[in-house]
Amino acid sequence: MVNDEVWAYLSFRIPHSALRIPHPIIMFNQVIRWSLRNRIVVLAAAGLMIVFGLRSAQRAPLDVFPDFAPPQVIVQTEAPGSSPEEVETLVTTPLEAALNGASGLTDIRSQSAAGLSVITCAFESQTDLFLARQLVTEKIALARAHLPATAHEPRMNPIQAPVGMVIKITLTSDKVSPYEPRDLADWVIKPRLLSVPGISQVIIIGGEVKEYQVIASPERLRDYNVSLDEGRTGDVSTRAYARCPVGHPRIW
C-alpha cells in the first residue's frame, strides 16, 4: 500500500519535459486542441476544400481509356490478286520509302498479306494528330505514281484510339461458293457492325470478290463500227450516245 502511494506521488511530481514525449506527438496534440477550439474555421476550410476538389475533378483532363501510345496513322492499300511477296515488293516498300521523310516520324511498322498492305506510322508524342495525317496524305500522293496499276488508292484509317484489333470473325462454308461468304461480309455483316456505336472500322480480308467482265465480240464490234478502245471505255460520244452492244457480261 505504501509503495503504491509513493509511486503515484512520484509519477505526478515528474516534470513534463522528463517524460521525453516525441516532438511530432506534441505538435499533433496542439493541432487537435486548436481545431477543437476553432470548430467554425475548420468546418469552413473543409467546405472550401470539398468545393475546390469537386470543381477540379470536373475540369481535370481525365479519360477512361487514356492514349498512352504516341499519335499513329495507319495506311491500308489493297492489291487484289497479289501474293504477300508481291505486296511487300510492289506496294509496301514504295510507300515506306515515301513516308520515311515525314516530319516528326519516329517509327514505321508494316504488314503485307495476300492482297493487303498495312503500314503504321508512329509520330512524336507532341505531334498534332491532324498535322500527322496531313503529312501522311502528302507523302501518299507522291508515292501513288510508283504503285502498280492493280493496287487501289492508299487510304488512311479513321481516327481511333491505338487499342488494336478488337475481334476477328471468320466465315467458312463447304456448301457454297467462295463468293457468297464475301458478299455476306460486304453487304450484310459489315454495314451492321459499323452501325454499332463505338466501332470505327471493319476490315474484310480474303474470299472471292465478284467481278463483272465484258467479253468483247469482234463480229459485233465490226458490225457496229466500234473499235475495241471505244467498247472498253464506253466512249460513244461520237455516236450520239447510241447504245452499242459489244458483248455479253459474265460473272466470274
What is the domain partition of the chain in residue ranges? 2-59, 72-156, 212-251
> Count of CB atoms within 10 A of residue 221's CB?
18
Return the pLDDT at 47.
92
Rounded to 5 degrees, φ, ψ at 84 are: -60, -35
Reply yes or no on whether the pLDDT at 70 is more than 50: yes
Reply yes or no on whether the pLDDT at 18 is more than 60: no
Reply yes or no on whether the pLDDT at 48 is more than 90: yes
Lowest pLDDT segment from 21-30, 100-109, 141-150, 218-227: 21-30
Place 65 in a pLDDT band, splitting at 50, 70 and 90.
Answer: low
Place 235 in a pLDDT band, splitting at 50, 70 and 90.
Answer: low
Place 35 in a pLDDT band, splitting at 50, 70 and 90.
Answer: confident
Place 51 in a pLDDT band, splitting at 50, 70 and 90.
Answer: very high
Return the pLDDT at 50.
94
Nearest to 209 by CA among 124, 89, 70, 114: 114
On average, the pLDDT of the chain sits at 78
Q: What is the distance, to the nearest Å, from the Cα of residue 241 to the centroid of all Cα atoms in its chain?
A: 47
SS (H, E, C) the chain: CHHHHHHHHHHHHCCHHHHCCCHHHHHHHHHHHHHHHCHHHHHHHHHHHHHHHHHHHHHCCCCCCCCCCCCEEEEEEECCCCCHHHHHHHHHHHHHHHHCCCCCEEEEEEEEECCEEEEEEEECCCCCHHHHHHHHHHHHHHHHHHCCCCCCCCEECCCCCCCCCCCCCCCCCCCCCCHHHHHHHHHHHHHHHHCCCCCCCCCCCCCCCCCEEEEECHHHHHHCCCCHHHHHHCCCHHHCCCCCCCEEEEEC
Contacting residues for 132 by C-beta, under 8 A, at least 6 apart: 71, 73, 102, 104, 121, 123
Based on its alpha-carbon atoms, the radius of gyration of the chain, rounded to whole angstroms, reads: 37
Q: Name the β-bridge partners of 77.
A: 117
Give yes or no for a contact between 95 and 112, defined as CB atoms under 8 angstroms apart: no
Over residues 211-225, the mean pLDDT reads 80
Return the pLDDT at 71.
85
Nearest to 129 by CA among 200, 69, 77, 78: 69
What pTM, to 2 d.p., does this model score? Answer: 0.51
Return the pLDDT at 219.
85
Return the pLDDT at 243.
47
Cα distance between residue 103 and residue 126, in whole Å:
12
C-alpha cell read off for 249: 457480261
Return the pLDDT at 240.
41
Over residues 163-174, the mean pLDDT reads 76
Q: Name the β-bridge partners of 123.
A: 105
Return the pLDDT at 136.
92
Over residues 180-201, the mean pLDDT reads 86
Percent of the chain's residues with pLDDT above 90: 14
Superfamily of domain 72-156: Multidrug efflux transporter AcrB pore domain (3.30.70.1430)
Place 227 in a pLDDT band, splitting at 50, 70 and 90.
Answer: confident
Return the pLDDT at 10.
46
For 106-141, write each residue's pLDDT tens digit: 999 998 888 889 999 999 888 888 999 999 999 998
Give yes or no for a contact between 205 and 113, defined as CB atoms under 8 angstroms apart: yes
Give yes or no for a contact between 102 and 133, defined as CB atoms under 8 angstroms apart: no
